[in-house]
Structure 1
Amino acid sequence: MARVRDLWTKTIKGDDGKLVKAPTARHGQGKRWLACWTGQDGKEATKAFDVKTQASSYATRMEADRLRGTYVDPRQGQQRLREYGEEKWLPSQLHLRPNSVELYEQHLRKHIYPRLGDRRMATLARSDMKAFVTAVSAVLAPSTVATVFSVLRALMNAAVDDGVIPANPCTRVPLPRVDPRVVEPLPAKAILALAEAITPRYRLAVWLGAGLGLREGEALGLVLPRVDFLRRKVEVRYQLQRGKLVELKTKASKRTLPADDLVLAEISAHMQKWKPGPQDLIITNRSNKPVGRSSFWECWADAVAAAGLPKGTRFHDLRHFYASGLIKANIGPKVIQSRLGHAKIAETFDVYGHLFPDDEELGRGAIETMIASARAEQERNRGAK
């Protein structure tokens, strides 16, 4: 039951045997009124107030929350956001792949903890989240702001589920508008320049991206048994993450691709210079071990600069080059979806829809031809009667 205790006085028997109020040892010190209620564990929980009505209202609200099943222990909310993130939330993300965990760690360490890490969870309000978005928007692109905020939102959602806070303060927080990125495929001469500029051990990765549309992890995780020189095909089954081969995360990502002679020749030339690494990895570093992401990114950035391409050119742009080549060859959208490993055709159209032919004259006369054919058949049937 909810109740309020007076911490400054106590009831004792007077000399005449009657009950009287007497000062306690803490009389006049600290907050006087103690709100008391039954916690979720069945034990008494308390919180001190200066004003009796405030203590009474708080105790009543806590008791009502317990009965409704929405009770949150106020002591839980006193832990700091950094403490909750490092000790409870991030270690529990066992369903995430290593690359995703690494990305979450980066966003927490670089953007979330410096601004909110020392705040107690229960004190965070929607206004704090809006201020956070404003602060990171000053230094990050809108798309990155959305990614960082999604990590913060997920952390706070987990805190609600764990009974640390009663509600997620990240709800209904406006984010900066993200303008859709219009893909502008690299020209063929840029592919040649990148292949020549990058360190020779990684030259093949350029051709796997541009010639097969492989993602960075897929290119660095290609193993020799998955290359069929006789049938001129390459099977994409794994990706390299944190130096380890892991299964691709979606069924659509697992695919078998027809390989041009150009790509197969590059694979052969690479194998003549360097032997396969652990688990038959084709591309390895100087120690013949799996390629580290940071070292590859450094080599890639150097190659981009040497090739005279814009600073933001990504490995993923090689994949866009591959897709644009398939579109120019009049390959159907469903085939392109399969080759790229997209789970849904909508993803293919969202990224590359603007590259497909869009001639206003396309289709002109198609309906007329169909109607004319039907009319001709009607006339033939009438003449036969």
Structure 2
Amino acid sequence: MGYTKDLWTRPEETSDGKTKRVRNERWGKGKRWLACWTSPEGKEQSKAFQKKEDANRYWKSKETDKERGDYIDSKAGEKLFEDYGQRWLETRVVDPSSAIQYESKYRLHVAPTFGKRKINQIKPSEIQQWISGLRERYDTSTVRAAFLVLQGALELAVADGIIKTSPVQSKAVQVPSAPPREVEAWADERVFAVIGAHPERYRIVPVLGAACGLREGEVFGLAEEDIDFDEQVIKIRRQVKKVGRECIFALPKNDRSRIVPLPDWVADYLREYMEAFPPRPYTLPWEKVGGKPHTCRMLLRWHTDDLHVRARNFSESVWKPALVDAKVIPPAEPVKDEKPGKDGKRKTRMRYATTRKEGTHQMRHFYASVTLAEGVSIKELAEYLGHHDPGFTLRTYAHMLPCSHDRARKAIDNRMSRLPKPGSRSRDGADGP
């Protein structure tokens, strides 16, 4: 049972055997009243207050929390946020590239503001102010990713009983929502022009994107054994993925393999491609740097060193020049680096003026638009594209679905045509309604 202790007086026995309290050496110094209680583990705990009623109220609330199972160690809440930020990062069960992204967001955006703060003193208003500051400097995806890290660390502290509730749960904390994503598919002529502008060795990337919906990393990792000409399918089982400065073989996005239809035209194309560029065994670590070696007869190799294709090299040396040739973007222009190099000089580089609307994902959007127009369902398309949720596919491509107005009109006309039209005679000869 808890109690309140007077720190400014001590008991003293009088001559008549009674006890009275007299001032001690602490009289008038510091807080007078000490709330005392024991934790669920039996450890003595205390906290000082100016007023006796506040001390009484506090230890009684601690006793109530023990009975309810809601007890929070007040001193534990004084731990620094960085303790739980680092612990959250270490306990994530994610692929290596995601772990790198989380660590980057924590180091660059979360730790500088909250790392040295006591975890029980972080207020919703401060979190909202932090979010507002990030929004002024970064795009929505960066803000949401940084918030995810902050939220995860605070939720871990709640789960461990360090704080009772997470300040991010307050209605005062408002995270910017992801902007609506309604993609626009390129016309046939543009897609064909871009494919035609690619060198023959690398033309397989836009072809398999437009004709089978593959991501570029999935094409980079496609092997001869993934193509089943008899069953007319492609088995998407790996991708080339960058982790830090290294590359690995890994499962496709969302950590799931899938099977996509192999059209006859694509099958003929792949046979000719493999005849011109015979697949050969290639080995990379599986799922993590230093992971178990994984070998497959990979289709695509980089022309200068015969190694795997890296996304940045492909983008700058192949994809963007093809966009220029297809008149999708203007030619590259010389641009000076914003920061000087080690020699104190700013280097001039050739850069292309592009946005996300000119990326290789446009080939997948083309695939979605064509298949939806021909009657493929959203559920089937989600499976072919490797989306984790058909709802995401629907939100992204709903505007590409064929208009159902004509079908709806025809269905109602067929069913309702048996009813008499206004002004016609009813069966008993009376005027119609």
What corresponds to 2:283 in structure 1? Answer: 277
Q: Is the 8 A contact 1:194 1:303 kept in 2?
A: no
Amino acid at match of 1:89: W
Amino acid at match of 1:300: S
Structure 2 CA distance for partners of 1:121 and 1:263, relative to 1, 3 Å: farther
Amino acid at match of 2:182: V
Structure 2 CA distance for partners of 1:311 and 1:195, relative to 1, 3 Å: same
Q: TM-score with structure 2 length normalisation?
A: 0.71
Provide the rounded CA distance (Å) in 1 between the counterparts of 2:362 and 2:108. Answer: 26
Question: Over residues 137-195 of structure 1, what are the superposed CA-to-partner deviations in whole Å (9 max), with x where a residue is unaligned?
Answer: 22233354334323332332222111111102112332334441111123456556766
2:88 is the counterpart of 1:89: yes
2:355 is the counterpart of 1:311: yes
Provide the rounded CA distance (Å) in 1 between the counterparts of 2:19 and 2:229. Answer: 99
What corresponds to 1:382 in structure 2? Answer: none
Cα offset for 1:199? 9.4
2:409 is the counterpart of 1:364: yes
The SS at the match of 1:182 is coil
Matches within 5 A, 1:75-224: 75-86=75-86, 88-94=87-93, 96-171=94-169, 172=171, 173-188=173-188, 191=191, 204-224=204-224
Q: Once superposed, what is the RMSD of the aligned Cα atoms?
A: 3.8
Cα offset for 1:235? 0.5
What corresponds to 1:381 in structure 2? Answer: none
What corresponds to 2:41 in structure 1? Answer: 41
Provide the rounded CA distance (Å) in 1 between the counterparts of 2:31 and 2:213. Answer: 67
Amino acid at match of 1:92: T
Structure 2 CA distance for partners of 1:14 and 1:187, relative to 1, 3 Å: farther
Q: Greater helix share, 1 or 2?
A: 1
Matches within 5 A, 1:216-235: 216-229=216-229, 231-235=231-235
Structure 2 CA distance for partners of 1:300 and 1:3, relative to 1, 3 Å: farther
Amino acid at match of 2:361: H
Provide the rounded CA distance (Å) in 2 between the counterparts of 1:290 and 1:26. Answer: 75
The SS at the match of 2:168 is coil
Q: TM-score with structure 1 length normalisation?
A: 0.79
Q: Percent identity?
A: 30
Structure 2 CA distance for partners of 1:48 and 1:323, relative to 1, 3 Å: same
Structure 2 CA distance for partners of 1:181 and 1:17, relative to 1, 3 Å: same
The more displaced of 344-353 and 161-170 is 344-353
- Count of aligned residue pairs for this structure pair: 370
Cα offset for 1:248? 5.0
Amino acid at match of 1:258: L
Structure 2 CA distance for partners of 1:314 and 1:67, relative to 1, 3 Å: farther
Structure 2 CA distance for partners of 1:249 and 1:183, relative to 1, 3 Å: closer
Q: Is the 8 A contact 1:204 1:266 kept in 2?
A: no
Question: Over residues 53-74 of structure 1, what are the superposed CA-to-partner deviations in whole Å (9 max), with x where a residue is unaligned?
Answer: 3333222222221211111111
Structure 2 CA distance for partners of 1:186 and 1:147, relative to 1, 3 Å: farther
Structure 2 CA distance for partners of 1:112 and 1:368, relative to 1, 3 Å: same
Provide the rounded CA distance (Å) in 2 between the counterparts of 1:188 and 1:283. Answer: 25
Q: Is the 8 A contact 2:212 2:260 kept in 1?
A: no
Amino acid at match of 2:122: L
Amino acid at match of 2:60: T
What corresponds to 1:383 in structure 2? Answer: none
Structure 2 CA distance for partners of 1:374 and 1:34, relative to 1, 3 Å: same
Q: Is the 8 A contact 1:304 1:310 kept in 2?
A: no
